[in-house]
Amino acid sequence: MIRKPLCAAALLALSQLCFAEDYVDAGYASIKSKDDQSGLKFSGSGFALNGRIDLQDLKAAPFFFTAGFQSASIKNTDLGITLTEDVKGYNLGTGYAWMPSEPSEVDFSVTYAHSDGDLSAPGFGSASATSDGVVVALGGHAWLNDTFKLYGEVGYDNFSHKTTGFEFNAGLEAEIAKSFRLFVEYDYSSDKTTSTSPSDTVKTDVIAGGLKIPFGGRR
């Protein structure tokens, strides 16, 4: 069975949206994934380290670059044995941001993602798969007050093994101090693979949380 590694879904969901600033962040996620063809349901957890740097102040040059590393492990016991999928990946992206008003922002990004996945079961060995692809996304945020920020993003992904799909996420960020913030986020993705017969769709739900350290930019 060829399953697209979780780079576009669970792994990229760990890359928390950040706007108009340089930053580093770290996140932890609870992951649930369902394979429609086999009916198998996987659950587990993962973590990520991410960063962003702007070329200049947003008003001067609204282009930015992002990078991240993600790792996740999910399991299934429906067949009476433990199936384990371990995935590690990285992503590199660039984007353009503009501000319709001072406390809000709209963001367009293009991200390349790579992941290596390993599916194993005791007594049955393991199978490996590599996935590469691109995610194109449109996002935005708005500060509700001096402490809380709402953000969201919708994206389309195109990956190896003739896999395409969409993703959506929304989250809330809280500024605890000028150099320390907390965030919580929900992500949903649906990806269809047509290289198999019949085609297969994997749906993934992710609830993530973590911290971000901003060190530059507009906010």
pLDDT one-digit tens code per residue, 61-101: 578 899 999 999 999 888 888 989 899 999 999 999 887 77
Tell me what pLDDT residue 212 has: 92
Query: Could you tell me the pTM of the whole model?
Result: 0.86
Amino acid sitting at position 93: G
Q: Specify the CATH superfamily of domain 7-214.
A: OPCA outer membrane adhesin/invasin (2.40.128.100)
In this predicted structure, the answer to whether residue 32 has a pLDDT above a threshold of 60 is yes
CB 130 within 8 A of CB 162: no
Antiparallel, parallel or unpaired: β 200-214 and 23-35: antiparallel
In this predicted structure, the answer to whether residue 15 has a pLDDT above a threshold of 90 is no
Would you call 36 helix, strand, or coil by DSSP?
coil
Whose tokens are 């319709």? That residue is 100
Tell me what pLDDT residue 3 has: 38
Cα distance between residue 140 and residue 153, in whole Å = 7
Predicted confidence band of residue 2 (pLDDT cuts 50, 70, 90): very low
Tell me what pLDDT residue 195 has: 82
Cα distance between residue 165 and residue 143, in whole Å = 30
Tell me what pLDDT residue 164 has: 92
Other Cβ atoms closer than 10 A to 66: 19
Cα distance between residue 21 and residue 9, in whole Å = 25
Across all residues in the chain, what is the average pLDDT? Answer: 84
CB 66 within 8 A of CB 54: no
Arithmetic mean of pLDDT, 114-133: 89
Domain boundaries, the chain: 7-214
In this predicted structure, the answer to whether residue 105 has a pLDDT above a threshold of 90 is no
CB 150 within 8 A of CB 123: no
In this predicted structure, the answer to whether residue 124 has a pLDDT above a threshold of 80 is yes
Whole-number percent of the chain with pLDDT over 90: 51
Whose tokens are 């085609």? That residue is 199
CB 18 within 8 A of CB 215: no
Predicted confidence band of residue 16 (pLDDT cuts 50, 70, 90): very low
pLDDT tens profile 147-177: 999 999 999 999 988 999 999 999 999 999 9
Q: How many C-alpha atoms does 93 have within 13 Å on its Cβ side?
A: 28
Rg of the chain's alpha carbons, rounded to an integer?
Answer: 18
